[in-house]
Each structure stands twice: as C-alpha cells, then as structure tokens.
Structure 1
Amino acid sequence: MLRRRAHWVMILASLLLALVLRAVLSAQGLPTQPSDVHHPFGIQVIDEATGRGVPLVELRTTNEIRLVTDNAGWVAVDEPGLMGQKVYFSIDSHGYEFPADGFGNRGRALEVRPGETVQLKIKRNNIAQRLYRVTGQGQFHHSTRLGLPTPWRHPNMNAQVMGQDSTQAVVLGDRILWTWGDTARVSYPLGNFATSGAWSELPNRGGMDPSIGIGQTYMVDDSGFSKPMFKNDIGGTVIWMHGIFTLEDNQGQTRAVTHYSVREGLGKEHRSGIAVFNEDKELFQQINQFSPDSRLYPQGQTFRHTDNGQAYIYFATPYPILRVPANWDAVFDPKQYEAWTCLEEGTTFDTCSPRLVRDANGKLDYAWRKDTDLVDAQRQRQLEQAGHIEAGEGWLQTIDIDKGRKITLHRGSVRWNDYLECWVMIANEIYGEESNLGEVYFLTSKSIPGTWEKAKKIVTHDKYTFYNPVHHDFLDQADGKLIYFDGTYTKQFSATQVATPRYDYNTMMYQLDLSDDRLNSVE
C-alpha cells in the first residue's frame, strides 16, 4: 500500500513540476512547444530561360549550412533558430550563374517563414540543360519534405541504391535494358561490384517522357537490393562491362552482348571475354575468355554502321576507331576486331619504340588493321610528348573552337542524328582547365571514322568530375532535335575533397537542343 501511494505522489509531483516550468517559460516569453520545423520554408531555384527547377544548385548560409536543390530545384529549410530570421543564402552551381551584388557576392537574403515558399531565377551558361539525377537516394528529398507532389514512382529510393557508376544501355525487344558499374547500398559500405541492371519502357511504348524521368525497374535480390548481373567466383574482384550491343545469334534471336572484365578495380585483370544476357535468368553469362594478350576487344559505347557493304559494330572510345563485323561468330573472336591505327599490323603500342607506318612521303598511314593496338587520343598525346610524331600529325586533332586550343577527349558516344543529318559525339575532356575530367563537348562528323576537329563545350564543372557521358538515342525527340545524355558525377579523379551530398557517385541526365545557334560553329 505504501509503495502504491508513493508511486502516485511521484506522478503528481512530476505533473506539478511540468506546470511550473511551463508557467515560468511563458512568463519569460519563451516557446513552450517545438518550433515549426515540421513546416519548412521552401526555396525553388529555376532556370530563367525555361522556368524549370534546376537540380544540383548549392545554397549556403553565412555559418556554412549547406543545402543542395533536388531534382525539382527545391530545398527545404527547417533549421531551428533560422525560422523568422532574414537569412542570406549564397547560390552556386556548375554551369549556372546567380547575379552578383555590388560586392561580388552571388546570393539572396530571404525571410525564412514556416510553410512559405519563394522562387529564385538562375542563368544557365551551359548549353545543355541539367534535368535530373537518375540514380541514388533522395532525388526528390526536399520536395517530399515540403509535401509537394513528385512525378516518379520511386522519388527517393529505388532498389536500395545509394550510388551508381557509368551507364550502358540498349533496346532489347520493347524495353530498354540499363546497366551500371559499381553500386553502393544503403545498409553497408560494400555494395554490388558485379554490375547492376534495370528495365524501363520505351517512351513511345508507355515509358516516361525523358524530360521528366526514366521509370526504371531494377533487377533485385531477395533483400530487395540491386542484384549482381554476373556470377563472380574470384573474391576481392569486381566485374566491369563495356561495349554493350544487340545482335542476332545463329538462331535468329536478338541478344544483348558485351565485354566483361574480372579485375581488381583499376589494377590487375584476372580474365575477360564476351558475355551474353540471359533474359529469363536476368544474368549475363560469360561465354568465352579472350587471351590475356588480346589487343582488341569491345570498349566504350557502341553503334552499328555499314562500310562498303559490310555491317559493323563500332566502339566509340570516344572516337569510333574500333570495330568488328556484325556477325555472331566474329564478335567472339578477338582476331576479327579492327583498329583504325597508324601502327604496323600485329603490333603492340610502345611509347619508347612505336612501330609506325608511314607512306613514301613520310606521312602517317592510317588504315583498318586487325590484331593491332589502338592509338587513341591519350596514346597519340604520349607519342607527341615522346617526339615520335609531330604535333598536329596524328589523326585526332580536336580543337575547342571557343578557346582555339587542342583538347584530349576521354570517353563518350557516337550516334547518327536525323535532325542534323550527320554523326554526333558527346564526350568529356581529360586534363581540362576548369576540371580534370568534367568538361563535356559536342562534335559532329559526316563520315566514320571521321576527323572530329571542332568541339563545342556544352557542360562545365568546377573542380568536379563528370565522366563516361553517353547519348541515349532511343530517347531522342522531335526527329533528333532534342537529345539526352547522362554521365557519372563524382569527386573521384578531381581536386575536390568534399563530395556533394546525395549527388556524388551517381548519374545525371542532360538535354541538348541541337537547334541552339551556339552549336552552329561545330558543323
């Protein structure tokens, strides 16, 4: 009985103490309930030319609180202590510019009020328009917190994917097969390192408008996480794939085919060869292995083109200087691959003593040669630096037409474009001025392999990486006037030490309007 009475006395004492504290706080004018942080203040940053929300815009307060706009261009401000205050936000974004004040500061002071919103316009300097982050978590993070509708079925998490690297995609039947490299997961630092995959519908077959999104359905494991697309029997290795394409097999069935590489990241390769996608099992099956000394194999992004009556699969690296006959048996035989090269047939690239082919006048002789190493832009640069060829002598002489300087392209894609009636290349530069690996260019050519001499910058990054861009021609609109490309946004290989929250190590989609007058100088 005494214990029960003591229990009730303690409860009454606690209630009395709470009432006293509430009265004291009220008398001092202090809040007696949590602030309205559950009703955030919304800021949307929009492209002044299109009125569309701009993703990847950073807003920063004077005490270094950092907010980054989501796919719809929104940030939700719910910082305790800032509600009801006039708060200055600096505003910055790769390839976009907010007006500067008299002191050179680019930003705006805003009255932060719970539940209210404001819209700010930003100027786009990029020719290409940034649309949305394709992969990862929280694409509509701020929109969701503001209670706004979102256009995606999975607006903030799909297949437990936190980060994803480098897109390869093909149309297989009535669907698009998407694949990516290393994939980060939500539940542990180590994720899927044997390639990830997803399906989506073609835009003209029930799929989303590509200006809004993709609508991908991942292939997942029993836990719901994006599953490996390859079986790997070598611990501590990754499986990367390159050069995916479709081809009819000997039974007339269209199959997705790719090169695979089992390796220790950027280091030692254990084996490589050709793999074919099993649509029933939703796995790539390793069909054969190439010899370790094979000089040529699928790389980069692919397209089909007929030369002198023979159909070929071309591999853009980013220049289309590698090909194989579009024949089922040929793609499994490394001896059938050809390089557009100035090396003697059957030789390996050697910086110290390259075996170059020259004609009677001493001019470098380029031709399609089997079992012969590629001389891509970086290798050509090495030959120039070593004094084996003169500057301007090699096949690849690409100039930034705005700055009049030679540039070295790293990776990209080549596609035929009906609107321009020529081949178009989207590629990124290595050793760039604004960023080491983040400047993206547009080029055209009337022929293949082409010379690709004029390059126009369409996307820039400030000390950040945007690599392996790829133009998805199956998303083209208006007879090719509007094209779409994505690439991997990451701090890797850059001078940046601090990653962009949510965006880092994920793919970003851009739209390029080929009717833009600024592109005319490329033709």
Structure 2
Amino acid sequence: MSAADRDAPFRIEVVDQENGWPVPLVSLTTTHQVEFVTDNAGVIAIDQSDLMGREVFFDVNGRGYEVAADGFGIRGVRLTPERGGSARVEVHRTIIAKRVGRLTGAGQFVHRQQFSEPPAGFTETGVYGCDSVQLATHRGRLFWLWGDTTLARYPLGIFDSSSATTSLRPLNHDRPPLQIDYEYFRDDEERLRGVAKMPGSGPTWLSGYVSLNDHEGQPHLVATYTKIRPPLEAYERGLCVWDDGTERFERSQVLWSKTDDSPEPPPAPMGHVALWNDASGHRWALFGDPFPTMRMPATFEAWQNPQTWETLRPQAKLVAGDGTEKAVRPHSGSIAWNAHRNRWVTVFMQRFGDPSAFGELWYAESDAPTGPWGPAIKILSHDNYTFYNPRVHPELTDPDSPYLLFEGTYTKQFADSPPPTPRYDYNQILYRLDLQDDRLQPAHGASLE
C-alpha cells in the first residue's frame, strides 16, 4: 500500500442491486449516532479515527431504498473501515420512482472529491439550499427560478428569487450520477443575487412562470409575483416581466393589495404552466398546481389582460389505483403532455398523506389537460419528511421517451421535527419514473370517459 493509500479515507459505494446505479441520499449511521450520507455519486468517505480497524455496524436509511432486516427488525450492515479500503453496499428499491440525485445545494460530490475524483466541469455554485423550482424555455435557453435561497453567509441569503439558465438539454443522461451546470445570475462582484426585487418589504415569490410571444412573435418571460410579510402573509400580488437587458423582473401591474375591503386576492395566473392546442387549433396557456385553475390564450397580450382569463374548477380528488379505491386529494404538482403515453400525465403531492403528511407523491393520467384524471398510483413515499411542489420535466427528455423526470423540494418543514439531512435538506431532488413499469398499469389501463 502506498503512502497515499495509507492516508486515504475508507470508501463506501451504495448501489441499487437491480441495476448497479449509485444511490444518493442514503444515510449510514453508527451506533454512536455519527451519520454519513451518500453524495450524488452514491459515495461516502470515512476518515474518522474512532471507526478505523474495527467492525462497525451502520444503520441504513435509504428513504425508499433498504437492506434486509435482521431478527430485531434493524436494517443495517457491518463493515470494517480501513484507510485506503473500500466496500460496496447494495440496497433494494421499495419505491416505484428511481432517485437520480440532488439538483441544487453545496457538496453534491463532497465524498467523491475526497478521493480526488471531481466530476469534469463541476464547480460549487454558492447555493446551500433553495425552495421550489419554476422553469421556462425562453430565447433558446432553459430559465430556472427558485424561491427563498440559503447561502453560506445567511439562512435567508436571497429572498427575492434566485435564478439560472442552462442549455435546452442540460443532462447528458437521466441516471446517476446527476450533474447540471447552472449559470446563475450574479452581481458585479460575482455574488449570487435575486432577480425579482419588487417594491415593498419582505420576500417576493414568483409563480406562473412562462415565456409567451406577443403578436409580433417576440418572446416575453413573465410571472405572477406575491409580496410576503411576517408571518407568511401575502399582502400584494401582481404581474412582472423579465427585462432581457438588466436580467431582472420588473413590475408590470398590481392586481391586488390587501385591505379590509379586499382581504383575499382574486384569481391570478399561478402555479406551473402547460401550453395546449385544443381540437379547434386554439393555443392556450394553462396555469395550475397541479391541475389547471386558469386558462388564457397563449399570448403576451392575453396574459396582460385579465379580461381574457378564464377560471377553471380542478378535480378535487382522485381514486387510488391500488385496489383500495380510497380518495387521494392533490396538494401541489404539475401536468405535462407525454408522447410515449399519448396522454397527459401528472405527478402530485398528496394532501395529508400517510406516512408523511406532505411527502407522498402520486402519478395519474388523463386524455385532456383539464381531466378527468384516472386512478392514481403512489410512486414516492417518505417517513416523516416533506417532498413538496413536484415539477414534471418533459424538457429534459426526448419527446417520446418512456421515462418521466420530476423534481421536488426535500425538506424537514411541515414534518414532525425530524433531524435535517445534511446538505440535502431544503434542496431539489430529481427522480425518474419508468412509464413501462407494470405497477403503473392501473393508471395506464383506465378508461377516462
């Protein structure tokens, strides 16, 4: 063994026993509560002297991936860490969706880098955590936007929306290890900055993010903004438009200001956006979270004119396709047209699910973007952790791909005081759903007439 090997950490690689893929977000915890969490390459580097040269039991928590339980019901592995040594841990996937990796936050390859194996072109962005994603295609680029963003220097480092762009196809593959090279908007000193500082105190949250052409064919990136004051009270809502010159959103018009006479905001273009050509050839922009609650002609002029907005009544509940026929009530999510299924598809978070109140995700299909939506199949589950605001990503795969990618916000918020997962908490995680999986058949085979 070389001197370098004698000083090297002990390497653990956690892989899916089905296909050998590395599995991010798997925790290995010792009997004295030292926790290690796999990075995007499924790697853990152990460099602690108290663990070297002795058999160590690691409790394994894979959040949808597991090892076999022993006679006491404990799921773990015994390893003997040695400097320069390595071990491979195979886990069995219990969820339908496959975890691809973490899209945001620091240290995505923190363990792999300890073995001098940095991914080609990978750099730290300075983002430590961020809230839910919005995504639009604008002027030949993907424009990504996130809510409140955590930086190293402060928990709420950016509270008026961080943003980045990528190429139209930023993924080289749809399996781990995951890496996206975001080009974040920064200030003159190269520090991350917000892009939606609307007038008024408190955070600015954006929704209904989409690029729409005007009557002359020019694209405009637009959104609906909401101003927030403690304790999470909305007090103003309006429309804003991206300025391609300053690379910031500018207020276009105020739709509502909170008063005693107007305590609640009127309907507005909120949520995720799906573009749709109906049977008569009219093109619509549909806004919803997950199902459409508003539609308008898909033009910049129509978006500016509330008289063209038409409110819709979304489906309030779906039926579980697992044989129980229980009611499943959507809370948040998105829809997309899927050419492989020749149907509209949705991934949504269940309202007050089990075992996690806001961490159970379901899949369903429809022949039309406005429903009806057929039987729902649970594809992702969490034990006392939240995974909210899922966003389907048809932009990241070929149009006829049999795989559906979606991401969501992984956070301890709204759960029963779980310990936060280091580096992963309050960040975006990407999953892949195989639409050919037999377990989705109740959704595929449903007649929706």
TM surpasses 0.5: yes
Using the TM superposition, give the Cα deviation of residue 311 of structure 1 relative to its aligned residue in structure 2, in angstroms: 1.9
In structure 1, what is the Cα distance between the partners aligned to 2:121 and 2:373? 38
Report the alpha carbon displacement of residue 447 of structure 1 after superposing the two structures with TM: 1.5
Asked whether 1:401 is paired with 2:370, we answer no
Deviation at 1:475, TM superposition (A): 0.6
Aligned residue number for residue 187 of structure 2: 221
Task: Report the more deviating stretch, 465-474 or 402-411.
Answer: 402-411
Q: Does 1:433 align with 2:354?
A: yes
Question: Shift of residue 459 of structure 1?
Answer: 0.8
* Greater per-residue helix proportion: 1
> How much does 1:478 deviate?
6.8
Structure 2 SS opposite 1:302:
strand
One-letter amino acid of the structure 1 residue matched with residue 58 of structure 2: F
Query: How many Å separate the matches in 1 of 2:428 and 2:213?
Result: 30
CA distance in 1, matches of 2:128, 2:405: 23
Q: TM-score, normalised by structure 2?
A: 0.91
Question: What SS class does the counterpart of residue 301 from structure 2 fall into?
Answer: helix
Q: Which residue of 2 aligns with 1:500?
A: 421
CA displacement, residues 171-205 of structure 1 (integer Å, 9 cap, x when unaligned): 112211111000011122331000011011122xx
CA displacement, residues 401-420 of structure 1 (integer Å, 9 cap, x when unaligned): 22431111111111000000
Task: Quote the offset at 1:128 in angstroms.
Answer: 0.9
Question: What is the CA distance between 1:44 and its match in structure 2?
Answer: 0.9
Report the more deviating stretch, 251-260 or 190-199.
251-260
Q: Which has the higher strand share?
A: 2
Q: Does 1:280 align with 2:251?
A: no
In structure 1, the partner of 2:236 is 271
Write out aligned runs for 1:11-410 (5 A).
Answer: 38-151=7-120, 153-154=122-123, 157-158=124-125, 160-203=126-169, 208-211=172-175, 212-235=178-201, 237-264=202-229, 267-292=232-257, 295-307=266-278, 308-341=280-313, 395-402=315-322, 403-410=324-331
**Larger Rg belongs to:** 1
**SS of alignment partner, residue 170 of structure 1:** strand
Distance change >3 Å, CA 332–CA 440, structure 1 → 2: same
SS of residue matched to 2:307 = helix
Cα shift at 1:458: 0.8
TM-score (norm 1): 0.79
Distance 1:306 1:97, change over 3 A: same
Give 2:370's aligned residue: 449
Q: Deviations over 1:407-445 (max 9, x none)?
A: 111111110000000000011112011101011111100
Q: Describe the superposition over 1:360-395 as per-residue Cα deviations: whole angstroms up to 9, x where unpaired.
A: xxxxxxxxxxxxxxxx5xxxxxxxxxxxxxxxxxx5
Q: Which residue pairs with 2:447 in the alignment? A: none
Q: Establish whether residue 483 from structure 1 lines up as the match of residue 404 from structure 2.
A: yes
1:300/1:266 CA distance change after superposition, 3 Å: farther
Q: Is the 8 A contact 2:43 2:111 kept in 1?
A: yes
Partners of 1:296 and 1:338 within 8 A in 2: no
Q: CA RMSD in A?
A: 2.0
Amino acid at match of 2:90: K
CA distance in 2, matches of 1:207, 1:52: 16
Residue type at the aligned position of 1:286: R
Structure 1 gaps of 5+ residues are 1-34, 342-375, 377-394
Return closer, same or farther for 1:321/1:271 CA change in 2, 3 Å cut-off: closer
Query: Which amino acid is the alignment partner of residue 296 of structure 1?
Result: P
Q: Given that residues 220 and 300 in structure 2 are in contact (C-alpha distance below 8 angstroms), is that contact kept between their aligned partners in structure 1?
A: no
The aligned amino acid for 1:475 is: L
Counterpart CA distance in 2 for 1:220 and 1:104 is: 50
Which of 462, 465, 475 is the aligned partner of 2:386? 465
Q: Which residue identity does 1:275 align to in structure 2?
A: C
Q: How many residues align?
A: 432
Indicate the SS of the match to 1:145.
helix
Q: Which residue of 2 aligns with 1:368?
A: none
Asked which structure has the greater RCO (Cα within 8 Å, sep 6+), the reply is: 2
| CA displacement at 1:152 relative to structure 2 | 5.1
Aligned-partner Cα distance in 1 for 2:121–2:386: 27
Q: Which moved more, 1:213-222 or 1:454-463?
A: 213-222
Letter in 2 for 1:186: A
Paired residues of 1:396 and 1:453 also in contact (CA < 8 A):
no
**Percent identity between the aligned chains?**
35
SS at match of 1:428: strand
Alpha-carbon separation, structure 2, partners of 1:263 and 1:233: 11
Matched to 1:315, the amino acid is: F
Deviation at 1:88, TM superposition (A): 0.8
What residue identity is the alignment partner of 1:242? S
